Structure 1
Amino acid sequence: MRSDRIICAAATAAFLIAASCALAQSSRAPDVAGFDGADRQQRLIEGAKREKELTFYSSIPPADISALVAAFDKKYGIKVKVWRADSEGFLQRILSEARARRFEVDIMAGSSSALEPLYRENLLQEVKSPYLAEVIPQAVAPHRQWVAVYLSLFVQAYNTNLIAKDSLPKSYADLARPQWAGKLGIEAEDFDWFAEVVTLLGEERGLRLFRAIVETNGISVRKGHSLLNNLVAAGEVPLALSDYSFLAEQSKRKGAPLDWFVIAPAIARATAQGLARNAPHPYAAVLFYDFLLSDAQPILAGRQFVSVSRSIEPLYKGPLNLIDSGVMLDQARKWQDLFQKTIIGPSR
């Protein structure tokens, strides 16, 4: 599975990366990342103008990347070269480039489950950005080498033509009722969501409950949140248990017969950014890093993402549990195995 491969790749690459980094050409990224003072912004802009461009690896959806890059280019006239893949994809590419002593990426943004291994391989650089004070505390990793740019809130999405609002389940226990037979769907790799829900319900109780749901009603397993969301809109999956709020809300606003709600406990996964320790365009990279924490936040909120800005009213106002990517990385094999045995295997 995706995160299992992430762990293996990070572990096997560690020695080679350490050796490569020791031999790599010195980057100015650590110095630029530490800029402070009243002239910080002007120094970054002047340096970025000289560099003219930066390279951005990301798993953010293409249309949303385009909106962010266009706004940055309009403001600063700096070209952003984008390479897009899923979070595992850009993690693997960065690890491969580090082994080859080829440092091309300046900024990367994707699931915090991919940023955390890069921190552990010493490939990220802390940025002393003044904009960190403007985001919610949970957005900043304890080691401060990555920071969330938005939160992917897991929601339950349903087809409004097939399910009446007043019949929606109010708890996970309600999903074990026979009325939900053949109506439930889940994303194939959301083991970390599963882990967080089960842990918060109480591991023994939570596992027992999900086993009962699968045994009684079955769960359709689909790969990819966009696909799952589209299947809800099409009526093929009447109720998805692990859709993303921004996908559901975007579909709803486009007129699809789809709405969403949240069964407590509410779970979110951070989509985070990090500065490459060996960034070849450090001035432009740090300027873009700041941009993603400031000007980009209302853009993201306008596209129905859960912003990390303190000053933007959140799409979801209830209590929120953020997945700890460090803990999940350490416990991934356990929860992947339980997810496979509890949900994936019996559902096939």
Structure 2
Amino acid sequence: MKKFFQFFSFFLALSLTVETIDAAQSEVVEKAKQERALAFYTNLNIGESKPWLDAFEKKYPFIKTELVRVGGTAIASKVLTEAQAGRHLWDVAGPLMLYAKEIIKRGLVASYQSSERKFFRDEFKDKEGLWTALVLNNSTMMYNTKLVPPHMAPKSFDDLLAPFWKGKISMDTELYEWFEGQLRVRGKEKGLEFMKKLKVQEPVFRRGRTAQAELVAAGEFAVTVEVYGHRAQEIKEKGAPINWVAVEPVLIHPLVGLIAKNGPHPNAARLFMDFILSKEGQTKVRDEGRIPARPDVPPQPPELMRKEWKVEIVGLAEDIAETRKLYAEIFGLPSR
């Protein structure tokens, strides 16, 4: 009898919890109907992000969405400039973690503990509910299989210190997050020692991960130190003679979701965040060729993000200016 009452009490509590969540969701929906709009700022390109908003509008046709695509660090600059002018125009932002940190630091982000967050790995969200990863950009090395014999195929970044690789390595002029991540996982002293050895290999510096990946595919370089995994896989599937490898702990450059603290449409913002974090929303992320952050929505192909991988989130450096300075000093690049 005691077990029966324990069992009954558990399901009664569960039922009440579900009813409470449903009631709260219904209230958000009703308020969002009055707001009727949503402004979304993101680093993601329009071709990949607009389908998210189209799917959201289809689910909630009473909300008209506005997409503002802002590249790189300009997204943080835009948000901060608008805030200083007292103009609160965005509801949800989807910047890379590196730029999200600047927005969060200025107190411009509202906490929101979406019920969907419980499905995400702890590494892909913060405890305060200020950010949750929407898209995972995983760091991979990409090499040309025609230029690299099978026995020389790199399995770690340290493999690139072998004489074979001298003058054959392509690197980005602004590989700050990768640099930060390597120093963190190796320890600063050992990390800087590795970087100095890598410089001896005479890497060639160019701007843009995708552009470098294309040069490796064309045979101009044997390897590029970092390209996002989904891009490398895309190039491979087109028949290019390349392969890629993810080195653990795999560095993750997440594109994260933020809700504006003073946004004009706070309930529409919560509704959108619930949607894009849901299994339905994350499936849409995958359908547009990106890696979802939600573990129960595997990417295509699944090897792009394995659950057992050890990961390290990058873009969290407290002083990005110091990271840029160190990177430039080590590799003899112009300081930014």
Which of 137-146 and 315-324 deviates more?
Answer: 315-324
Q: Which amino acid aligns with 2:263?
A: A
Secondary structure of the equivalent of 1:148? strand
Name the larger-Rg structure.
2
Q: How does 1:1-12 map to 2 (within 5 A)?
A: none
The CA deviation string for residues 298-342 of structure 1, in whole angstroms up to 9 with x for no partner, is 22234453322131236232533323544x0x2323322221112
- Partner residue of 1:118 out of 103, 113, 118: 103
Q: Which amino acid aligns with 2:333?
A: G
Q: Are 2:81 and 1:96 equivalent residues in the alignment?
A: yes
Secondary structure of the equivalent of 2:243? strand
Give me the whole-angstrom Cα distance separating, in 1, the residues matched to 2:332 and 2:159: 20
CA 1:259/1:49 → structure 2, altered by over 3 Å: closer, same or farther? farther
Q: Which amino acid aligns with 2:312?
A: L
Secondary structure of the equivalent of 2:333? helix
Which of 66-75 and 97-106 deviates more?
Answer: 66-75
Q: Structure 1 unaligned runs (5+)? A: 1-35
The match for 1:335 is 323
Q: Are 2:192 and 1:207 equivalent residues in the alignment?
A: yes
Superposition deviation, residue 160 in structure 1: 2.9
The match for 1:55 is 39
Q: Are 2:198 and 1:198 equivalent residues in the alignment?
A: no
The match for 1:258 is 242
Superposition deviation, residue 60 in structure 1: 1.1
- Partner residue of 2:130 out of 142, 145, 163: 145
CA 1:299/1:233 → structure 2, altered by over 3 Å: closer, same or farther? farther
Superposition deviation, residue 127 in structure 1: 1.1
Identity among equivalent positions (%) equals 27
Give me the whole-angstrom Cα distance separating, in 2, the residues matched to 1:146 and 1:52: 24
Secondary structure of the equivalent of 2:127? coil
Secondary structure of the equivalent of 2:95? strand
Task: Determine if contact 1:193/1:323 at 8 Å carries over to the other structure.
Answer: no
The match for 1:4 is none
Task: Determine if contact 1:132/1:293 at 8 Å carries over to the other structure.
Answer: yes
How many pairs were matched up?
Answer: 308
Task: Determine if contact 1:192/1:323 at 8 Å carries over to the other structure.
Answer: no
The match for 2:211 is 227
The match for 2:310 is 320
Normalising by structure 1, what TM-score? 0.81
The match for 1:293 is 277
- Partner residue of 1:105 out of 66, 84, 90: 90
Task: Determine if contact 1:72/1:291 at 8 Å carries over to the other structure.
Answer: yes
Give me the whole-angstrom Cα distance separating, in 1, the residues matched to 2:170 and 2:222: 8
The CA deviation string for residues 80-130 of structure 1, in whole angstroms up to 9 with x for no partner, is 211111241111111111111111111100111222222221111011311
CA 1:161/1:324 → structure 2, altered by over 3 Å: closer, same or farther? closer
Normalising by structure 2, what TM-score? 0.84
The CA deviation string for residues 284-304 of structure 1, in whole angstroms up to 9 with x for no partner, is 211111111112212223445
Give me the whole-angstrom Cα distance separating, in 1, the residues matched to 2:94 and 2:332: 28
Give me the whole-angstrom Cα distance separating, in 1, the residues matched to 2:277 and 2:150: 36
Secondary structure of the equivalent of 2:118? helix
Give me the whole-angstrom Cα distance separating, in 2, the residues matched to 1:197 and 1:307: 24
Which of 184-193 and 43-52 deviates more?
Answer: 43-52
- Partner residue of 1:271 out of 224, 231, 255: 255
Superposition deviation, residue 137 in structure 1: 1.4
Q: Are 2:147 and 1:162 equivalent residues in the alignment?
A: yes
Q: Are 2:161 and 1:176 equivalent residues in the alignment?
A: yes
Spell out structure 1 runs of 4+ moving beyond 6 A: none
Superposition deviation, residue 68 in structure 1: 1.3
